[in-house]
């Protein structure tokens, strides 16, 4: 599964409507088949799906002001739900290196690809630095009172940014040495 296949499926969903309901059924069956073939965890997908679906329902409910019969609502709901299922599947099976390869293949500017690669790498840097700072705070038995919580929190965020930026430079050089970017 690569980004081009996903785009193809999403375009099919986008141009379909309830009058061509068999396309929706085909897309759903296709999703079911790839889930079984790749042995992707249904539980993991549904956990994310349940978190995102309420937002979809609220936005789709606005369509009742336009069409009280509910046809438009159902149409939007089918499209959004199917698209969501496919995107959730894609994000759970695709690897970072494959995404990078696909982005390079569509001739995405090198600078942008580099920033995306660094973003993904630095998320881990920020998380590990925040864990270190939290451990240090706990080791000093620091206890946040309600009054000082915002001051300490903002200072912690700033220090976290500062420390991460120092480590980011070293990580970038290491990535260059390994030929990642």
Interface with other proteins (CB under 8 A): 3, 6-7, 10-11, 13-15, 48, 52, 55-56, 59-60, 62-63, 65-66, 76, 79-84, 87-88, 90-91, 94, 96, 99, 109, 111-112, 114-123, 125-127, 150, 153-155, 157-159, 161-162, 164-165, 168-169, 172
How many alpha carbons fall within 13 Å on the CB side of residue 58? 5
CB of 158 to other proteins, least distance (A): 3
Angle at 12 between CA 10 and CA 14, to 5 degrees: 70
Q: Which contacts of 162-166 are long-range, i.e. CB under 8 A and separated by 24 or more positions?
A: 163/129, 163/133, 164/122, 164/125, 164/126, 164/129
Query: Considering beta carbons, is residue 51 or 140 the nearer one to other proteins?
Result: 51
Query: Considering beta carbons, is residue 135 or 162 the nearer one to other proteins?
Result: 162
* CA-wise closest residue to 117 among 133, 137, 97: 97
Query: Considering beta carbons, is residue 91 or 138 the nearer one to other proteins?
Result: 91
């Amino acid at each position: 599964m690569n980004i081009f296949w996903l785009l193809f499926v999403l375009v099919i969903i986008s141009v379909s409507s309830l009058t061509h309901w068999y396309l929706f059924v085909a897309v759903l069956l296709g999703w079911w088949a790839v889930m079984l073939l790749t042995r992707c965890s249904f539980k993991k997908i549904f956990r994310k799906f349940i978190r995102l679906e309420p937002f979809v329902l609220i936005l789709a409910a606005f369509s009742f002001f336009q069409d009280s019969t509910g046809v438009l609502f159902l149409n939007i709901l089918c499209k959004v739900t199917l698209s969501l299922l496919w995107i959730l599947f894609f994000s759970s099976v695709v690897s970072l290196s494959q995404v990078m390869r696909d982005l390079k293949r569509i001739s995405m500017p090198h600078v942008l690809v580099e920033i995306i690669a660094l973003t993904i790498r630095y998320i881990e840097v920020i998380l590990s630095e925040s864990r270190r700072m939290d451990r240090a705070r706990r080791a000093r038995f620091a206890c946040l009172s309600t009054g000082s919580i915002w001051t300490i929190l903002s200072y912690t965020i700033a220090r976290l940014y500062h420390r991460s930026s120092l480590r980011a430079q070293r990580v970038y050089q290491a990535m260059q040495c390994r030929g990642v970017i």
